[in-house]
């Protein structure tokens, strides 16, 4: 090796080693308490009624899936979860899929999960195939849980970061019967700040709320009560 190549190799080596590395400190999980039961609770397929009560039938009640969720739209443990982006119904199979997937992928020594939705309670009736029209309301086929937009379905928390739970929460969200996404507290805060910024800096004052409140174009004649509510 001649002197030129030796100096060139030495300079390259010095340049590569001269950079200063900075690694941020890991998050502190000292205040996180792990409960005794970390796995998701098994959900019954059929609600339990007293033996003397006949299981009641119910109308469709699509209003239970309509509009935004106003109560259960935040994370209780301020960490991670799955949020619904549209209305829909959860069947018992969806509950089992969520429970089994999280049970396999979650580290039980430092993570835990909790349900944020009720067990299937709304009956859905169905008339047998090949029967004539009429004959009254059909028998109960299965039970569902109605979900509104913005509802938190399940939460995962503990001594873990978002990147550790993001992949299996995203897989679960893609398998649900409505649009959903994996969220963290930072994502929810960012979405709320963005929504607040858009409302405060809106250049068009003729919003849907303004049009309805002032009966622009006589819209009260054809609007439904749900338009006034939402």
Report the CATH number at residue 111: 3.90.1170.10
| Angle between helix 92-105 and helix 162-175 axes, rounded to 10 deg | 160
Cα 84 to Cα 116: distance, rounded to the nearest angstrom: 12
Q: Which helix (H) or strand (E) holds 84?
A: strand 80-84
| Residue at 3 is within a domain | no
Closest Cα partner for 99 from 79, 89, 113? Answer: 113
Q: Show pLDDT as tens, one digit a residue, over the chain (230 residues).
A: 565 555 455 554 545 555 677 888 888 998 999 999 999 999 999 999 999 999 999 999 999 999 999 999 999 999 999 999 999 999 999 999 999 999 999 999 999 999 999 999 999 999 988 898 888 999 999 999 999 999 999 999 999 999 999 999 999 999 999 999 999 999 999 999 999 999 899 989 898 889 999 999 999 999 998 888 87
What does the pLDDT look like over 37-86, one tens digit per residue?
999 999 999 999 999 999 999 999 999 999 999 999 999 999 999 999 99
Asked if the structure places residue 78 within a domain, the reply is yes
Is 106 domain-assigned? yes
Range(s) of the domain holding residue 101: 28-127+137-202
Size of the chain in residues: 230
Q: Which helix (H) or strand (E) holds 197?
A: helix 185-200
Judge whether 55 lies within some domain. Answer: yes
* Residue 39 resides in a domain: yes
Residues of the chain by 3-state class (helix, strand, coil), percent to 5: 35, 20, 45
Q: Which residues of 87-102 are buried (b: 16+ CB within 10 A; e: fewer)?
A: bbbbbbebbebbbebb
Predicted TM-score (pTM) of the model is: 0.85
pLDDT digits (tens, 9 = 90+) for 95-108: 999 999 999 999 99
């Amino acid at each position: 090796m001649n002197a030129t190549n030796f100096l060139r190799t030495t300079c390259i080596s010095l340049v590569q080693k001269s950079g200063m590395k900075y690694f941020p400190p890991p998050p502190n999980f000292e205040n996180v308490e792990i409960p005794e039961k970390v796995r998701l609770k098994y959900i019954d397929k059929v609600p339990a009624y007293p033996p003397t009560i006949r299981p009641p039938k119910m109308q469709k009640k699509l209003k239970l899936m309509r509009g935004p969720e106003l109560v259960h739209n935040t994370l209780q443990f301020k960490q991670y979860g799955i949020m619904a982006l549209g209305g829909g119904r959860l069947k018992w199979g969806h509950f089992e899929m969520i429970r089994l997937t999280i049970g396999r992928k979650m580290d039980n020594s430092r993570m835990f999960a909790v349900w944020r939705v009720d067990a299937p309670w709304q009956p859905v009736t169905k008339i047998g195939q090949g029967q004539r029209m009429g004959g009254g309301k059909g028998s109960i086929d299965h039970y569902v849980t109605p979900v509104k937009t913005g509802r938190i379905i399940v939460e995962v928390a503990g001594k873990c970061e978002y990147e550790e739970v993001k992949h299996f929460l995203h897989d679960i969200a893609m398998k649900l019967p409505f649009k959903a996404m994996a969220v963290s507290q930072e994502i929810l805060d960012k979405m709320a700040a963005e929504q607040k910024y858009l409302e405060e800096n809106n250049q068009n004052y003729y919003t849907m709320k303004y049009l309805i409140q002032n009966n622009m174009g006589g819209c009260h004649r054809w609007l439904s009560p749900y338009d006034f509510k939402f």
